[in-house]
Amino acid sequence: MRAVGIDSHKDTLAVAVVDEVGRQVATTEVANTPEGFERLAGWLTRHRPERVGIEGSGGHGRQVALRLLRAGYEVVDVPPQLTARERRRQRTPAKSDITDAVGIARVTLREAHLPGVRTNGDLEDLRVLVRYRRELVAERTRLASRLHADLEQLHPGYQQRIGRLTTRRNLDRARRLLTGDPQPRAVVARQRVTQLRQLTRQITDLTSEITQRARRLNTSLVTIPGIGDLTAAELLAEIGDISRYRTRAQFAMANGTAPIPASSGRTQRYRLNRGGNRRLNRIIHLIALTQISHHPQARVYYQRKQAEGKTRREAIRSLKRHISDRIYRTLRDTHPHTALT
């Protein structure tokens, strides 16, 4: 078996082929352009690899990944953490794109359960919209913070009358408060109010489109307490094709809800997993908090874990793992990806 590793960059793709024991067979570098993809596809036919691993298959390496999928290769995504770990195993501190590609190829050869590359389709379209909405919400938060700072200087004590600057009512109040003030800070603040109104309209329209798309996918995620249409869309956007994860344990490790064993001798303990998809982990965390507040069974589970001696945070982590398993089973049972890719 031969495996290929591709280290993707904005302008170039470093490529390496290794044999069944991980020995370097051949290397090359091509442009990260459609012409470069065709040259790479022709070069690979001479080496006949069974598997191709790409670091950055969701970014700079996405288009070459799709091209190789169309050519019939098994293409997997190699997390940067595994590449870094492979680099540390080498006896030399030297680093180059080619040596990284060799490391990626060895990880591809050794790791049997690497996730597959995301394909185009409804899930990818949903992912684009969800991420754009996340960017708009972040920009609105930054802009609202700047407006709060302006109002604090212009009208000390304004917060007694105006709360969050993400609602139409409060933005109208802020606008009235600033009306007629010729100070440059007030002029800028009025422009921020206008921008916030525009962003809020964009977010509202985008949220409506995202939830409609989520409903058309007919996912059963909304049957899980704490998950509505928007949260389901965010989960689908981050998870993609659930078949990329062969077990619920692998899925939990990928989203950071699986604790990492840290036992020694007679001491059996686990430490917090700070790895995995942190956006997905945050979504699961918010679901857990919602369930503790509003779902009796989740609250009983949470309280039982605390009675067993776990701290509040440890009990929440246990609930998050339980939710992760439930999400995995739900997506596995419904197989939404089969109709989307």
Residue 339 has a pLDDT of: 36
Domain ranges within the chain, ordered by starting residue: 3-110, 122-216, 221-339
Sorted by sequence, the CB contacts under 8 Å of residue 145 that are 6+ apart come out as none
Q: How high is the mean pLDDT in each 10-residue block of the chain (341 residues)?
A: 94 95 94 96 93 90 94 91 84 82 94 80 90 96 96 92 90 93 95 96 96 90 94 92 85 88 68 83 96 95 92 92 95 60 34
User: Are the beta carbons of 194 and 170 closer than 8 angstroms?
Assistant: no
**Measured CA distances, 328 to 119, 247, 259, 260 (Å):** 20, 8, 17, 19
The DSSP bridge pattern shows strands 12-18 and 3-8 to be antiparallel
52-88 core/surface letters (b: 16 or more CB in 10 A; e: else): bbbbbbeebbbebbbbbbeeebbbbbbbeebbeebbe
Q: Which two tokens stand for residue 49?
A: 């690899």
Residue 195 has a pLDDT of: 97
- Which 8-state DSSP code applies to residue 121? S
- Give the amino acid at 283: I
H or E element, residue 270: strand 270-271
CATH superfamily of 3-110: Ribonuclease H-like superfamily/Ribonuclease H (3.30.420.10)
The DSSP bridge pattern shows strands 51-55 and 75-77 to be parallel
pTM: 0.78
Residue 337 has a pLDDT of: 44
d(CA 133, CA 337): 22
Residue 267 has a pLDDT of: 65
Smallest Cα–Cα separation from 251: which of 163, 299, 323, 196? 323
